[in-house]
Structure 1
């Protein structure tokens, strides 16, 4: 199984940079969309925390909730993660599964007003730094690290160095694709890599290798979301209700310690091209917000603002806001009770409305 949700390609930045910050002078209200649309397409790509979506379609849960609100909801697999986010940015998808950093640096930075409807999980060990030469992060000073540059592996590395009192300038990085990272680590020249599962699991097996840092040490920072077009959600709130209903019913099924729960997870494993054992292993390092109440608490916690501030600071420093961004505040992020950055150019919104409805059994 190839988990590729975390890759940001430099070429994609060129695609969105032409429209980055095009709406800086617009008011903070969400854009308007004409009411009346009843058919929607939600894109997904293979990742442990996103497999509930295709399972829900297969099991009839999507149709059940779509029918309740008089909608048609298509759950569409996009084989390439970056392409799925690109299609959402271009308006070819109404919603997409995406990591929080990518939601900020691709659609939001591209000028698309985007709402995080569901906070589904965070990496709790799915991402890590493995070294054949260092036993601690501090010992990485002066070394070279292979990773997918401008990805969440890069963010993970920056946070690991920060916690060890180091800076990015204290190390060198070599851009290495996720497809090549395992092979690279097997060579004598490459001593340290930062990567994610399943590649992380493979490099950890290397004799003499040490896991010097993983995402469990920065809980809640590498978030995975379902985002939707803000204007469409404003025009059709029933879409938000249906999607929340689909998600939390499916999570209740898959988390059950019953034969039905095991069968659901086995089906998700099959849909992702792996074994039930491997899928359960991936879930063990993925902190799923199985309860709508837990997800609501996470969305309403001040910790979310702290996390997103770190993400935006890193993203801006790496040039991921595009050439039109003069400061880290160029793009506004709306959070419950707080706005980060420009209130006149809000492009990423964390909206707990529909998660609260689910928690209150009011969908």
Structure 2
């Protein structure tokens, strides 16, 4: 029986729609089958995830996760390029990454820096004010740059009082050993290597002087969060188990052994790093997610970082802080 041309066209269109729907369905199944890819780097609050990795706690939680190890800057580059679904970074650097095209949402606060981020100076330099007229190396626009500027502001110094030299954070030990550089900014364990590279050097300012200035977070691609929210919820719930294992005196030696091996140092060298990192339980994270204008709040801290970034032309447009922060997964993980 002959079909009317309009009817045949309708059937062809319906067929295409059904095929497209099937393809999209297959794509969604494929996406769901893929492990969540998380980039992490050498900071105690992120190396902490190594405990969960080696203890198979993600499998226990029913979520497939693949952690990929990077130098810090490279982890953010990989995230922006879409090679990983999430990345561990500071709240201020989440804004820098987002402004550069790597849109992200901070779903978990792992810790805040409590002394492990440092401005370290060569022998004879006793304070930030002693750096006036000298060269200080930091990675432009990243967290140590903010730490240095805050230290200068507290000391009553102007922006031009110190000459900023841009350098990669993981290269700071070599940079510090050069003749012209009076001080560098970095975090543990890299800053510890810098201190060893220049005997007699010491910290002149640390994140212990600015608790809450630097929150460390797990930031996720918004599309991944939307498509696999239940899986990300499971990842967040694992975090309390990690913190408990690291902080329990009975299990801490094993945790430190695992973390030290990932960072390539001895457990004896690694243990002091925990003192400079305030790991946050989910309950403590819920409190930090409360809106506020100071360093006690992730919102307040991030807005301060945003003002710094915009003022220093790290990016061209002030970022909308609320779009970067989602407290709901931490709130639900009880």
* TM-score of the two chains, using structure 1 as the length reference: 0.75
**Correspondent of 2:60 among 58, 61, 64:** 64
Over residues 169-201 of structure 1, what are the superposed CA-to-partner deviations in whole Å (9 max), with x where a residue is unaligned? 121122344454334444554333333223433
Over residues 27-69 of structure 1, what are the superposed CA-to-partner deviations in whole Å (9 max), with x where a residue is unaligned? xxxxxxx96542322222232111232321221101111x2xx
**Correspondent of 2:299 among 280, 302, 305:** 305
1:77 to 1:178, Cα distance in 2 relative to 1, 3 A:
same
| Cα offset, 1:241, TM superposition | 1.7
Q: Report if aligned partners of 2:41, 2:70 keep a CA contact under 8 Å in 1.
A: yes
C-alpha distance in structure 2 between counterparts of 1:232 and 1:196, whole Å: 30
C-alpha distance in structure 2 between counterparts of 1:185 and 1:44, whole Å: 25
Q: Report if aligned partners of 1:123, 1:223 keep a CA contact under 8 Å in 2.
A: yes
| Cα offset, 1:96, TM superposition | 1.4
1:46 to 1:183, Cα distance in 2 relative to 1, 3 A:
closer
Q: Report if aligned partners of 2:115, 2:206 keep a CA contact under 8 Å in 1.
A: yes
C-alpha distance in structure 2 between counterparts of 1:210 and 1:273, whole Å: 23
Which residue is 2:321 aligned to?
A: 333
1:354 pairs with 2:311: no
1:318 pairs with 2:306: no
Matches within 5 A, 1:176-325: 176-204=167-195, 206=198, 208-258=200-250, 260-289=251-280, 291-302=281-292, 303=294, 304-321=298-315, 325=316
| Cα offset, 1:207, TM superposition | 5.2
**CA-atom RMSD, angstroms?**
2.3
Q: Report if aligned partners of 2:135, 2:180 keep a CA contact under 8 Å in 1.
A: no
| Cα offset, 1:264, TM superposition | 2.4
Higher helix proportion, which one? 2
Tell me which structure has the larger Cα radius of gyration.
2
C-alpha distance in structure 2 between counterparts of 1:273 and 1:352, whole Å: 34
Over residues 277-332 of structure 1, what are the superposed CA-to-partner deviations in whole Å (9 max), with x where a residue is unaligned? 2221111111111x2111111111513333112211121223222xxx3x42xx21
Q: Report if aligned partners of 2:43, 2:189 keep a CA contact under 8 Å in 1.
A: no
Which residue is 1:134 aligned to?
A: 125
Pairs aligned (count): 299
What are the ranges of 5 or more consecutive residues in structure 2 without an aligned counterpart? 1-26
Q: Secondary structure at the match of 1:281?
A: helix
C-alpha distance in structure 2 between counterparts of 1:318 and 1:139, whole Å: 23
* TM-score of the two chains, using structure 2 as the length reference: 0.81
| Cα offset, 1:81, TM superposition | 2.5
Range with bigger deviation, 280-289 or 229-238: 229-238
